[in-house]
Structure 1
Amino acid sequence: MQHIIISDPTLRDGSHAIKHQLNRKQIATYAALAESAQIPILEVGHGNGLGASSLQLGESLISDTDMLEACRENLQQTKLGVHVIPGFATISRDLRSAIDLGVDVVRVASHCTEADITKRHIEYARSREKEVYGVLMMSHMASAARLVEEAQKLESYGAMGVVLMDSAGAYLPHDVQEKVSALTGSLGVPVGFHAHNNLGLAIANSITALENGATILDGTIRGFGAGAGNAQLEVLVTVLHKMNYDTGIDYYKLLDIADIAEKDFVKIPYINSSNIVSGVAGVFSGFAKPVERIAKEYNVDPKDVFFELGKRKVVAGQEDLIIEVAEALAKHKINM
């Protein structure tokens, strides 16, 4: 029976859905529940990772330190993970202190064509003897050949695995097949896949990744996450167990956790029109709420905003361009 590593970013990607307002009690409670269900890796933090709390990206209710401590106090077997984007997270201020607080797993992420920026962070985390993965975000924006080049850089820096993120929920299964198989056929380290559900394909795409050699899959409780949400963890584990894969997760407890989390803090995502357009346009799922808010302010159609952002190939961290696009659309509307 093949073992699949499950990483749960409910307390990180999920925070996008509630504007990064998870409190310490909610984090501690979920961490204890994840431990009881033997979830292998639990990721915590601002939706954009360590050091990302800001006016531009949204301010977390509590600090990175408080979030990490709330988890660390409640985890023993479950590994504590963080998402690190160089530029938001510095080594000296953020990564060093996170590791000092007891982080076990470090995922260092970049835009899919900019793996070069991860080198120092990966090397530092490896020097601290942590489990370190490289992550390629918005991976739909690069060809399979280019993703292989970038993934090989991550491996050369010391990444112990490479995770492809479908950050916009833009993939169809044949895209997953092409890109994951290219990586698994070219790397000497494990490959992972992180799905979003904008087109209703998060579970199908995760299984396609698995069938093409991926051995690490991400999922969040009730799909709690940016935009239309992530692969729904309890559904993903159900399907994996039905396919006779081993996850090491206590299935009954996982189902109980989903019910508890829904009552406590999870805002269950659903696929609305904006999410669909975001996926088709290939725009980061975390843009959904600001696009809808800004489009309303400027009296323009959010669908037009998404498609224009897609044309400009806008990525996470460029939220200021949403206003620029909305202003341009509003002026065009007046001049028509």
Structure 2
Amino acid sequence: MPTSVKIFDTTLRDGTQGEGISLSVEDKIKIARKLDELGVHYIEGGWPGSNSKDIEFFERTRTMTFKNAKITAFGSTRRKDSKACDDINLNRLVDSGVQVATIFGKSWDFHVTTAIQTTLEENLNMIYDSVQFLKSKGLEVIYDAEHFFDGYKNNAEYALQTISKAQDAGADWIVLCDTNGGSLPGEIAQIVGAVKAHVSTPVGIHAHNDCELAVANSLAAVQAGAGQVQGTINGYGERCGNANLSSVIPNLQLKLGYSVLSDEQLKSLTSVSRYISEIANMHMPINQPFVGNAAFAHKGGIHVSAILKDASTYEHIKPELVGNKQRVLVSELAGQSNVLVKAQELNLDFDRDPQKSKEIIEKIKEMEHQGYQFEGADATLELILREAFEGLEEIFTLESFKMLVEKTANHAVVSEAIVKVKVHGETIYTAAEGNGPVNALDNALRKALIQYYPDIKNIHLSDYKVRVLDEKDATAGKVRVLMETTDFSSTWNTLGVSSNIIEASWYALVDSLRYALLGRTRIEREDKDQLEQLGVVNH
């Protein structure tokens, strides 16, 4: 039974077969570097010669240095009725310059006779010849036994013959693939155990997630003796995806006690998972285990009261072990404990005024009843709490705004906003156009404020979402607008609610700018106070 497990990442190959994922060469290079930092043992870069991106990827990685990972090229066994030494795809694997080649072959007799339409004997020869050829070129060879579990269940004797041929030819690893993703953990464990009794070559597992069991199947395989797990970060892949390494790795290391990564590498798991989701331009589910934003988030007041006493009451591991963090959400389900934890995060002294904390809870619950949802808008919540307990400097006040939207027969829609605000006692009147009403309003407000707050030029709206709260009211229904804003070093979320989408957007927009500008004002004020305490006068 292995005490350590090797991680084979195929995000750059199998992961890109997922719907909506397309990576440039530069994207693949960035992800490969990040995976190497994480500490995975193998990075499968693609299929050499299949497309220009993969060709360039292997050309570039040939001159790169990787501290932890071996770059792996993917291909198939030779074509039927041919010679391995003449096979174009096998030679491309050799020419790619990698140290490790991963090839797949058929394990299911049904596939042999139906998909590649050859004899069972010829398929065995194809496996043997291909592995032997790559070994003769000095490569480490990982043999992926495609559809192995389906093949074993249909014809166990023949499935075992296929992997015996790979072993006889010198394969370094035999990886059993649940290609259709239809097997159950008990089946996986039983079959891996039978394979371990049949071959001496180290065994791996490659599971797909069609029954949402890829992680469970991977763990079952390891417990039955597999020493390598193949998968993708965040579970990307064709159909329902591959085994999610972001869950496989911490389960192996923290739950089952296998040696996979160093403790420091494991602490980077959350940042790596989120980084790759950004590069792939894929939304990362907030409830993804271990690395999701809500993986250690607590909303119910009773839960929060308990974690204040001991976090293990509602957390199965310390979030810091995987680089995540505990979050307390404030909502209509919240008790005083939730607000207390949030206040502690903001260094607000709630003990000074218990009555005010109760009033804040009631205000938050009433706002939630009106349609606000603060667990997705920490910046708006912080502004409410600081206003109640510290008071906030008035950045500006609105006097009025007007929206003009014009559409003519032969021209595109033009949106213009006219904003009248008071800043430091001075009335500012500005107008600006935009790609839509909200963009025009944003541009006009920034135009009014930038002369007083130059840093506003570094703040950008990065996401905008609208949710209809009561669908039965159709276009007259109340809406909730959620805005995400960034200054490229941090990101914050604000929201507004109204029966008028422009008004809701205005509330969210104002909070996004107030949060950024008040934060900077507070930092500058604290820096000034510190300088004065040190006897330094800033002129």
TM-score by length of 2: 0.45
1:222 to 1:20, Cα distance in 2 relative to 1, 3 A: closer
1:95 matched residue in structure 2: 90
**DSSP 3-state at the match of 2:18:** helix
Q: What is the rounded CA distance, in whole Å, between the counterparts of 2:132 and 2:284 in structure 1?
A: 36
Q: What is the rounded CA distance, in whole Å, between the counterparts of 1:116 and 1:197 in structure 2?
A: 31
Which has the higher Rg, Structure 1 or Structure 2? 2
The 10-residue stretch of structure 1 (201-210 or 112-121) with the greater mean CA deviation from structure 2:
112-121
1:122 matched residue in structure 2: 131
1:137 to 1:181, Cα distance in 2 relative to 1, 3 A: same
Q: How many residues align?
A: 259
Q: C-alpha displacement at 1:235, in angstroms?
A: 0.7
CA RMSD of aligned residues (A): 2.4
2:38 matched residue in structure 1: 37
Aligned counterpart in structure 2 of residue 145 of structure 1, from 151, 157, 164: 157
Check if 1:255 corresponds to 2:270.
yes
**DSSP 3-state at the match of 2:168:** helix
Q: Which has the higher contact order (CA 8 A, sep 6+)?
A: 1
Q: Is the Cα–Cα contact under 8 Å of residues 9 and 43 in structure 1 kept in the other structure? A: yes
Q: What is the rounded CA distance, in whole Å, between the counterparts of 2:224 and 2:104 in structure 1?
A: 22
Q: How does 1:121-270 map to 2 (within 5 A)?
A: 121-143=130-152, 144-242=156-254, 243-248=256-261, 250-265=265-280, 267=282
Q: What is the rounded CA distance, in whole Å, between the counterparts of 1:145 and 1:224 in structure 2?
A: 33
1:296 matched residue in structure 2: none
Q: C-alpha displacement at 1:164, in angstroms?
A: 0.7
1:64 matched residue in structure 2: 54
2:76 matched residue in structure 1: 85
Q: Is the Cα–Cα contact under 8 Å of residues 236 and 244 in structure 2 kept in the other structure? A: yes
Check if 1:6 corresponds to 2:1.
no
Q: What is the rounded CA distance, in whole Å, between the counterparts of 2:173 and 2:279 in structure 1?
A: 33
**DSSP 3-state at the match of 2:240:** coil
Q: Deviations over 1:143-194 (max 9, x none)?
A: 2433222111110111112111111111111220221111111111101100
In structure 2, the gaps of 5 or more residues are: 109-122, 286-539
**DSSP 3-state at the match of 1:218:** strand
Q: Is the Cα–Cα contact under 8 Å of residues 78 and 90 in structure 2 kept in the other structure? A: no
1:107 to 1:146, Cα distance in 2 relative to 1, 3 A: same
Q: What is the rounded CA distance, in whole Å, between the counterparts of 2:125 and 2:270 in structure 1?
A: 40
**Counterpart code for 1:28:** I
Which structure is higher in strand share?
A: 2
Q: Is the Cα–Cα contact under 8 Å of residues 31 and 74 in structure 1 kept in the other structure? A: no
Q: C-alpha displacement at 1:223, in angstroms?
A: 0.4
1:288 matched residue in structure 2: none
Q: What is the rounded CA distance, in whole Å, between the counterparts of 1:268 and 1:233 in structure 2?
A: 17
**DSSP 3-state at the match of 1:32:** helix
1:64 to 1:155, Cα distance in 2 relative to 1, 3 A: same
1:25 matched residue in structure 2: 26
Aligned counterpart in structure 2 of residue 76 of structure 1, from 61, 66, 69: 66
1:131 to 1:97, Cα distance in 2 relative to 1, 3 A: same
**Counterpart code for 2:212:** G
TM-score by length of 1: 0.71
In structure 1, the gaps of 5 or more residues are: 54-59, 271-336
The 10-residue stretch of structure 1 (184-193 or 244-253) with the greater mean CA deviation from structure 2:
244-253
1:88 to 1:74, Cα distance in 2 relative to 1, 3 A: farther
Q: C-alpha displacement at 1:266, in angstroms?
A: 5.4
Q: C-alpha displacement at 1:139, in angstroms?
A: 1.8
Q: What is the rounded CA distance, in whole Å, between the counterparts of 2:284 and 2:168 in structure 1?
A: 37
Q: C-alpha displacement at 1:20, in angstroms?
A: 7.5
Q: Deviations over 1:102-134 (max 9, x none)?
A: 212112211214443122221121112211122
1:65 to 1:137, Cα distance in 2 relative to 1, 3 A: same
1:104 matched residue in structure 2: 99
**Counterpart code for 1:199:** C
**DSSP 3-state at the match of 2:217:** helix
Q: Is the Cα–Cα contact under 8 Å of residues 208 and 242 in structure 2 kept in the other structure? A: yes
The 10-residue stretch of structure 1 (197-206 or 73-82) with the greater mean CA deviation from structure 2:
73-82
Q: Is the Cα–Cα contact under 8 Å of residues 4 and 216 in structure 1 kept in the other structure? A: yes
The 10-residue stretch of structure 1 (22-31 or 10-19) with the greater mean CA deviation from structure 2:
10-19
**DSSP 3-state at the match of 1:10:** coil
Q: What is the rounded CA distance, in whole Å, between the counterparts of 2:96 and 2:48 in structure 1?
A: 13
Q: Is the Cα–Cα contact under 8 Å of residues 31 and 71 in structure 1 kept in the other structure? A: no
**Counterpart code for 1:81:** T
**DSSP 3-state at the match of 1:7:** strand
Runs of 4 or more, structure 1, over 4 Å off, are 87-92
Q: Is the Cα–Cα contact under 8 Å of residues 27 and 70 in structure 1 kept in the other structure? A: no
Q: What is the rounded CA distance, in whole Å, between the counterparts of 1:216 and 1:253 in structure 2?
A: 21
**Counterpart code for 2:237:** G
1:166 to 1:50, Cα distance in 2 relative to 1, 3 A: farther
Q: C-alpha displacement at 1:74, in angstroms?
A: 4.2
Q: What is the rounded CA distance, in whole Å, between the counterparts of 1:50 and 1:101 in structure 2?
A: 7
Q: What is the rounded CA distance, in whole Å, between the counterparts of 2:62 and 2:207 in structure 1?
A: 26
Q: C-alpha displacement at 1:91, in angstroms?
A: 5.4
Q: Is the Cα–Cα contact under 8 Å of residues 79 and 104 in structure 1 kept in the other structure? A: yes
The 10-residue stretch of structure 1 (219-228 or 251-260) with the greater mean CA deviation from structure 2:
251-260
**Counterpart code for 2:129:** R
Q: Deviations over 1:46-98 (max 9, x none)?
A: xxx445x4xxxxxx4x3432121344444423101122113579755443344
